[in-house]
Each structure stands twice: as structure tokens, then as C-alpha cells.
């Protein structure tokens, strides 16, 4: 893999749901050796530290269940701007924080792609589709809305206007296994590429991912990867508040990252939903660091053996 300047952007977003703990995520990645793993592969690292949400004053949403609307909007503003500032200088890696951070990271990276006159693609590695809107969410947790926002669904009136709407056909969701009725109906209405766990069980993870990457390459696209801890099975990645059994194995996770590395297409990355309060001696944080290293060029034969003694 060509040597890359990786820009770590701490996004301790903890307002996209009610269960606390994701605000510790960015520092857990640092403690687990993310920067050291990246530099060991010959890349350079710039750490911007932990950002803060812009101050926002907004009226309560018409859906009374919506949680922490102003703070989520503030984070969207901050991270949209951070993405556009960092993207011309290297590969932004957004250290979450819950998945509400993608409201800003994806919108900002899509704006950058538009400024380069290149199509934008997103790979959503997640147990959930996150295609709700503030109007449709029953939980009120806005970490379930980033895809809905970036593709331009109605209901985001209070959020920053999108500099560039993401084409749903340019989104591939892999690992889905928890989709509610409203999300299912929305997915049927749009042209998102959906690869649920049944597809993976029946045909493996390589074939659908390879087909998507071929499309990105053919279009000369810029690819954003949004990796949620709950993409992985909770037996190997317990540090997440939205566990869903039946997720990807460690080996499947590494295969995805190695294929992404081989493609040379990735231009930005989210690491989201790590809740260190729920982890087992840093097991999940270390796995997420290892997966990032695979994306950046580490191979099986030079993967370290970890001791938890």
C-alpha cells in the first residue's frame, strides 16, 4: 500500500443514544496503540485531538422522543467542517464516539468528493441500516439516522444543509441483521446495495464486496468506510451497547479490510460505537486497531500475537 498520511480526528460523540460510554472511545483507540500500529506500517500520523460540538440553539423536535437534538447538530457541524479540512491533506480517520458522528463525517467527505468532481461511495459495515430520520425513529436515538441524513431524506430540517447529497445507489451495507419495519420499507424504496448476514452465510463476504469495489473503481470514486463495532459478532467484540448476535467473525472482518487495502480506494474511515465501559480488558479496542492495520497494509504473516496475561 502506498505510504499515507493518516489524520486521527477524535470525535467523542455520546449523544446519538442514551447509553453512555462512547465518549471514551477515541482515547481507548489511542491507548490500544492505533497511532503506533499505523506508523509501524510506514505511514505518517497526525492526531488532531478530541474535537467538541459547535454550540447550537434549536427548538425541540416535533418528535418528542428525539434525544439531544442540539448536541447532535453541533457535532454534525463540527465534523462536517473537520472532514473537509482534513481530506485534502490525507486520510481522515474519525475516532468515535457513537455512529451519530457519521452525520458529519460522511456529509463532509461527500462534499470533498464533489469538490474534486469525483463520485462518492460509502461502505456501511454495521448490524443496522441507520436509515431512520428524526421523524421515523421510535427510540429517538439519532445514531440510527446518518444514512437517512446524507441521502437527503425528509425530516432533517434543523440540520445543516447538505453540501452534496449521497446517491443511495453508491452505498453498500454489509452485515445487516437488525432492521425494523420502517427501515425495511425505506430500503425497499431506494437503491441501496444491501448485503445481510443471510447473503454472507450463503455466498460468503468476498463476492458482494468485490462487486461493490469494482463499481467504485470503474467510477473513479472516493470511498468512505464506516465501521461499527456491532458489525462484528459480540463474542469477539463485546464493547458496544447495540449487540446483535450472528455478526462477522474476526477472519471475515480482516478479509474485508485486506480487500479494501488491495483496492486502494479508501479515502476516509469511521471507527464507531466503541464503548470501553463494556469492554473486556481492551479486547474490542485492540481488535478495531488490528482491523484498521489490515486496511492500511498489515498482512496475516506480520500480525502480532497478543497476550492478555
Which residues make up each annotated binding site?
A: 99, 126, 128, 130, 228, 230
- Annotated active-site residue 61? The verdict is no
Supply the DSSP symbol for 127. S
Among 43, 67, 99, 112, the one annotated catalytic: 99
Among 71, 98, 183, 230, the one annotated catalytic: 230
- Annotated active-site residue 154? The verdict is no
Burial class (CB in 10 A: 0-12, 13-18, 19+), 60: exposed
Q: What whole-number distance in Å separates Cα of residue 126 and Cα of residue 229?
A: 7
Q: Is the N-terminal amide bond of 97 cis, ω within 30° of 0?
A: yes
Among 14, 130, 233, 290, the one annotated catalytic: 130
- Annotated active-site residue 27? The verdict is no
- Annotated active-site residue 126? The verdict is yes
- Annotated active-site residue 270? The verdict is no
**Hey, which residues does 76 pair with through a beta bridge?**
none
The dihedral formed by the CA atoms of 243, 194, 172 and 81, expressed in degrees to the nearest 10: -60
Q: For residue 24, which of 282, 275, 243, 226 has the smallest C-alpha distance?
A: 275
- Annotated active-site residue 183? The verdict is no
- Annotated active-site residue 67? The verdict is no
Q: For residue 12, which of 59, 43, 50 has the smallest C-alpha distance?
A: 50
Among 98, 167, 183, 228, the one annotated catalytic: 228
- Annotated active-site residue 135? The verdict is no
Asked if 66 and 142 touch (Cβ cutoff 8 Å), the reply is yes
Among 43, 67, 112, 143, the one annotated catalytic: 143
Cell of 9: 480526528
Q: What whole-number distance in Å separates Cα of residue 229 and Cα of residue 127?
A: 9
> Who contacts 103 (Cβ-Cβ below 8 Å, separation ≥6)?
72, 75, 76, 79, 142, 145, 146, 149, 150, 159
In 41-170, where does DSSP find H-type helix?
69-86, 102-115, 146-150
Cα–Cα distances (Å) from 194 to 92, 125, 154, 177, 197, in that order, read 25, 11, 21, 11, 10
Which residue is listed with cell 505510504? Answer: 3
Where is the binding site for Mn(2+), in residues? 99, 126, 128, 130, 228, 230
Among 126, 167, 252, 290, the one annotated catalytic: 126
Q: Which residues are catalytic?
A: 99, 126, 128, 130, 143, 228, 230, 273
Amino acid at each position: 500500500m502506498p505510504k499515507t498520511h493518516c489524520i486521527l480526528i477524535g470525535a467523542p460523540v455520546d449523544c446519538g443514544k442514551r447509553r453512555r460510554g462512547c465518549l471514551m472511545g477515541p482515547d481507548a483507540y489511542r491507548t490500544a496503540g492505533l497511532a503506533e500500529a499505523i506508523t509501524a506500517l510506514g505511514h505518517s500520523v497526525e492526531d488532531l485531538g478530541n474535537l467538541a460540538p459547535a454550540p447550537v440553539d434549536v427548538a425541540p423536535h416535533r418528535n418528542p422522543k428525539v434525544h439531544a437534538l442540539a448536541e447532535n447538530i453541533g457535532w454534525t457541524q463540527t465534523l462536517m467542517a473537520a472532514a473537509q479540512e482534513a481530506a485534502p491533506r490525507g486520510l481522515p480517520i474519525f475516532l468515535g464516539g457513537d455512529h451519530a458522528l457519521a452525520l458529519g463525517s460522511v456529509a463532509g467527505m461527500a462534499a470533498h468528493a464533489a469538490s474534486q468532481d469525483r463520485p462518492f461511495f460509502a461502505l456501511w459495515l454495521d448490524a443496522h441500516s441507520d436509515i431512520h430520520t428524526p421523524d421515523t425513529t421510535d427510540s429517538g436515538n439519532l445514531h440510527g439516522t446518518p444514512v437517512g441524513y446524507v441521502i437527503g431524506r425528509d425530516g432533517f430540517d434543523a440540520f445543516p444543509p447538505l453540501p452534496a447529497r449521497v446517491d443511495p445507489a453508491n452505498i453498500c451495507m454489509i452485515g445487516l441483521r437488525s432492521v425494523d419495519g420502517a427501515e425495511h420499507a425505506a430500503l425497499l424504496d431506494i437503491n441501496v446495495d444491501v448485503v445481510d448476514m443471510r447473503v454472507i452465510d450463503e455466498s460468503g463476504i468476498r463476492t458482494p464486496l468485490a462487486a461493490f469495489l469494482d463499481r467504485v473503481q470503474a467510477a473513479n470514486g472516493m470511498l468512505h468506510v464506516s465501521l461499527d463495532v456491532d458489525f462484528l459478532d459480540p463474542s469477539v467484540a463485546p464493547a458496544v451497547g447495540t449487540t446483535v448476535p450472528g455478526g462477522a467473525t474476526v477472519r471475515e472482518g480482516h478479509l474485508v479490510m485486506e480487500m479494501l487495502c488491495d483496492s486502494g480506494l479508501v479515502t476516509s474511515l469511521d471507527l464507531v460505537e466503541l464503548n470501553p465501559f463494556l469492554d473486556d480488558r481492551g479486547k474490542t479496542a485492540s481488535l478495531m486497531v488490528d482491523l484498521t492495520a489490515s486496511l492500511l497494509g498489515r498482512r496475516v504473516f506480520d500480525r502480532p500475537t497478543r497476550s492478555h496475561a
